[in-house]
Structure 1
Amino acid sequence: MATTHSSLSLLSTDLAPAAIGPYSQAVKAGNLIFVSGCIPLDPKTMQIVPGGIEAQTKQALANLKAVVEGTGSAIGKVAKTTVFVKSMDDFATVNGLYAEFFGAHKPARSLVEVARLPKDVLFEIECIATVE
């Protein structure tokens, strides 16, 4: 059985949904924070937010922000994101909400359409950020 190496710190915050599987919300390695995929769960109810792609994207981004800030980093320190969508037909909506969320900051990004996401959500996002 593996144990966490002393060079890594497993991080979590109560401001975002708890991990729903055998993983951490985030892991710190050196000055980097690796944030696990954030889906549109309401952190209080642990239920998927209703309202389609717009509501789900906003909630997942809010969850990402809660984890990033809960680790001591900031949205402006996000270096890379990976976005997963159930349908590329939602690209324009997702792209607009993403641009609004990050503002003038433009992290590197990949966006891919996938066949299925956890809990059948429409949107998921993960990131890598720096922290001092």
Structure 2
Amino acid sequence: MEKKIIKTDAAPAPIGPYNQAVQFGNMLFVSGQIALDPKDGTLFQGDIAKETEIVMNNLKGILNEAGMDFSHVIKTSIFLMDMGKFSTVNEVYATYFTGNYPARETVQVAGLPRGVQVEISVIAAK
């Protein structure tokens, strides 16, 4: 099996030496997404709910490019600057799934790229 690089304009271009996602067989490994507008690279900061929505929509764009959607997600990793905002992030996150939720960890971190409040990555499979 070869790895296949997934690239879409529906999510922001990488800001470092990595790809939006890599598919290997039926597995898709999606890099962490932050609240960057895929159209112009504008960073949204402020409201954690809006930040999370942008992140989830970026993930959706990458999943769709690989022929998948959130029903294919088997694992998510959520990185938060403030665990006190977990419930707000969780409310937005939950709207993207319909039952059979993926495995997940949520951790508070000391810092995230560009000073954002939340970063989320996923692993999906067909």
Same fold (TM over 0.5): yes
1:3 equivalent in structure 2: none
Number of aligned positions between the proteins: 126
Choose which of 14, 33, 37 in structure 2 pairs with 1:38.
33
Checking the alignment, whether the CA contact within 8 Å between 1:79 and 1:108 is kept in structure 2 is yes
Cα distance in 1 between the residues matched to 2:43 and 2:98: 26
Q: Does the aligned pair in 2 maintain the 1:16–1:67 contact within 8 Å?
A: yes
Q: Does 1:94 align with 2:51?
A: no
Q: What are structure 2's unaligned runs of at least 5 residues?
A: none
Q: 1:64 aligns with which of 50, 59, 62?
A: 59
Q: Which residue of 2 aligns with 1:129?
A: 124
Instruction: Output the TM-score relative to the length of structure 2.
Output: 0.95
One-letter amino acid of the structure 2 residue matched with residue 40 of structure 1 = A
Structure showing greater radius of gyration is 1
What displacement does 1:52 show? 1.8
- Correspondence for 2:68 among 59, 73, 76: 73
Q: Are the aligned partners of 1:69 and 1:75 in contact in 2 as well (CA < 8 Å)?
A: no
* Structure 1 unaligned regions, length at least 5: 1-5
CA displacement at 1:103 relative to structure 2: 2.9
2:114 counterpart letter in structure 1: K
Residue 49 of structure 2 corresponds to which residue in structure 1? 54
- Give the TM-score of the pair, scaled to structure 1: 0.91
Superposition RMSD in Å: 1.2
Q: Is the 8 A contact 1:39 1:60 kept in 2?
A: yes
Evaluate the alpha carbon distance shift between residue 118 and residue 50 of structure 1 in structure 2; reply closer, same or farther with a 3 A threshold: closer
